Structure 1
Amino acid sequence: MKPLPGSLRPTLYDEAQVDAFLAGEPLPVLPAKPHPDDLLTDAEAGAVAGVSASTIRADAVNGLMPRGKELHGRRWWTRADAEARAARLTQYKGRTAGARDRTPRSRPDHRIAEVVAELDRAEAGHRSSVTAEELAECYGVSTRTGERIMSKARAERSKSIR
Structure 2
Amino acid sequence: MIPRGRPALDIHEVAARAGVSVATWRRRHHAAFAAAVKPLPGSARPLLYDAAQVDAHLAGKPLPALPAGQHPDDLLTDAETGTVAGISASTVRADAVTGLIDRGTERHGRRWWTRAAAEARAGRQTQYKGRTTGARDLAPRKTQADPRVHEVAHLLAAVEAGTARPVTAAELAERYSVSTRTAERLIAKADKVCRGEI
Q: TM-score, normalised by structure 2?
A: 0.42
Greater C-alpha Rg: 2
Q: TM-score, normalised by structure 1?
A: 0.48
